[in-house]
Amino acid sequence: MSNIVKVTLKDGAVREFPQGTTVAAVAEALSRKLAQHAVAGKLDGKMVGLTTPIEKDAELEILTFDDPEGREVYRHSSSHLLAQAVQRRFPGTKLGIGPAIENGFYYDFDAEHKFTPEDLEAIEKEMAHIVKADYPITRQEVSREEAIRFFEERGEMYKVELVKDLPEDAVISMYSQGDFVDLCAGPHLPSTGQIKAFKLMNLAGAYWRGSEKNKMLQRIYGTSFPKKAELDEHLRRIEEAKRRDHRRIGQELELYTILEEGPGFPFFFPKGMIIRNELENFWREEHARAGYREVRTPIILNRSLWERSGHWANYRENMYVTQIDEEDYCVKPMNCPGGMLVYKQAIHSYRDLPLRMGELGLVHRHEISGALHGLMRVRCFTQDDAHIFMTPGQIKDEIIGVIELIDRMYKTFGFAYHVELSTKPEKAMGSDEIWELATNSLEEALKAKGMDYKINPGDGAFYGPKIDFHLKDCIGRTWQCGTIQLDFQMPERFDLTYVGEDGQKHRPVMIHRVVFGSIERFIGILTEHYAGAFPTWLAPVQARVLPITDRHHEYAASVRSALAKQGVRVEVDGRNEKIGYKIREGQVQKIPYLLVVGDKEAENGAVAVRKRGEGDKGAMALDAFAAMILEEIAQKRNPEQ
């Protein structure tokens, strides 16, 4: 037997190492920098710790904190660090679960002591002691009986329950660090000393295993990073996100709100409606140019339609149901089935295809109250849907056309983005062959556009794979908005056909796609992206005229009238206040242009211009200012750009 193993690396290179060489030793051999940043490995596709020996020829990928899976290992180890510190500070505390989550980790505890924000500081100090001790983190596989006995002796009944619920053939492992032992599949970092920077963020309550029938536990949230500078930047972004919170800005700028009379159902005020209407107008202009025709379908349709579409079987828990004439009807959670019915109202030839139909359709979905969040997660929203019906030969070009449309629209707002290709989920309709064809079609279009993309396994819609667009805002957060879903299932279920060149009936292929996703959510994203300082074309008030004294009111009114006639959204601040106060108020309201008018301006037919973000720009002839702002609006530029 050879004592040499061949290791195939991510870049395809093959290296030879003595049998039993650890993942960490391979990283060290490849690069000292890589070894310093390595947190785990992926050996033949399986996640392993750095101390894992390589016993046979294998494929190996070294993971760092920059890799999502590596980040999860780092933060899962951080959750164990938290749990060990809590049990040291508060003896008798029982352990729930402690996973890594997006941007951090948490751990659930059953403790007699009620944790307070002050306790978090003490727990952090204990965590620092454990890090300094640099305990090795070791893995041990045990039998089901050994695991149950071990945790029963420690009074860890939640862990006992978890062990008993594991499948009969499950590998049961425990990880220890110093005096702390936890049930865990792993992997973890090699030692506690490798956790460099952490912060406990907040407290919450959480039912054991997510069921309100179970006991309420105490949850502590935290986050961690390999460098303090990265942690500091993360905390800075959190503070900036609070400053940009769309719920607060929406109230302050009188745009929109959520009221207790309608949780999850947004109210839009007149200024918010201006933003909404401008977005919808922009959507209509761009889609008309791209060859789309707009339709509208009913909000309520009968149950049989939703059974035919598959939504009743796959989405029932999210649908609102009512009865009309003793029959079940559903408030639509999606626009798609209505689009099918529109298509079926005429006989289509191959010459009619592709047929692109767009709809700004109001949909309703039942979200649990705990998931609701301002405009970001609501129970009714307008989807900017479109459904494209096409021949199989048109798939690639149509997908490329949608990608180009989405790209143009996102660039208008200054958004960068990345894309993910989501494949067949566990709960899905249709054969593997159809799914493979659909997935390959999406992938070919992405490659034809030369786009980088990430595979997101198992996250497709139940009727087809999809391309998701994730926007990056100005403080680095990402938001999933646009999507392109390729669907071979719905045309089959609704018996959609077209007459081909051979005179026979054929089945069209269908694309579902959105750009904004939800108009409401997109407005929330824009509010935070711009911190309420909307570009001039979107701003509810584009210019405000500020008369210095009462004798300038007449001229201010004439300025307002002249600009309004040309389509500028303009108002006059005629309050009996000092000009400095009026300027500050205009700045607080984030109005793009403040136009100060006094004796000189009235005499010369001018305005003294103050530009948001730049301050005093001096006097301009009214006609010149009008030409400038109208050009800015037409080009949809941000005045700060």
Q: Which of 364, 365, 424, 560 is catalytic?
A: 365
Q: How many CA atoms lie within 13 A of 270 on its CB side?
A: 2
Q: How many CA atoms lie within 13 A of 614 on its CB side?
A: 13
Please say whether the beta carbons of 81 and 200 come within 8 A: no
Please say whether the beta carbons of 273 and 253 come within 8 A: no
497 φ/ψ angles, rounded to the nearest 5 degrees: -140, 165
Please say whether the beta carbons of 34 and 27 come within 8 A: yes
Place of tokens 């400053």: 243
Q: In the sheet where 300-302 sits, what is the strand order?
A: 300-302, 327-331, 320-324
**Six token digits for residue 557:** 């009114």
Q: Is 336 a catalytic residue?
A: yes
10 Å CB burial of residue 551 (0-12, 13-18, 19+) is: exposed
Please say whether the beta carbons of 54 and 63 come within 8 A: no
Going from the C-alpha of 58 to that of each of 24, 28, 31, 187, 188, the distances in angstroms are: 15, 18, 19, 18, 21
Q: Which of 271, 377, 379, 466 is catalytic?
A: 466
Q: Report the C-alpha gap between 235 and 166 in whole angstroms.
A: 37
Q: Report the C-alpha gap between 384 and 514 in whole angstroms.
A: 5
Q: Report the C-alpha gap between 592 and 553 in whole angstroms.
A: 21
Strand residue runs (E) in 235-325: 256-257, 267-268, 293-294, 300-302, 320-324
| Tally of residues, the chain | 641
Cβ count near 421 (within 10 Å): 21
Q: Which of 84, 177, 218, 383 is catalytic?
A: 383
Q: Is 387 a catalytic residue?
A: yes
**Nearest to residue 506, comparing CAs of 359, 394, 342?**
394
Q: Which of 76, 80, 512, 612 is catalytic?
A: 512
Q: Is 383 a catalytic residue?
A: yes
**Nearest to residue 487, comparing CAs of 434, 545, 541?**
434
Please say whether the beta carbons of 461 and 314 come within 8 A: no
**Six token digits for residue 583:** 């300027």
Q: Is 344 a catalytic residue?
A: no
Q: Is 466 a catalytic residue?
A: yes
Going from the C-alpha of 433 to that of each of 146, 388, 424, 436, the distances in angstroms are: 45, 22, 11, 5
Q: Which of 384, 385, 468, 487 is catalytic?
A: 385
336 is in an annotated binding site: yes
Please say whether the beta carbons of 572 and 562 come within 8 A: no
Residues marked as binding for Zn(2+)?
A: 336, 387, 512
What residue numbers does the annotated binding site cover?
336, 387, 512
Q: Which are the catalytic amino acids?
A: 336, 365, 383, 385, 387, 466, 512
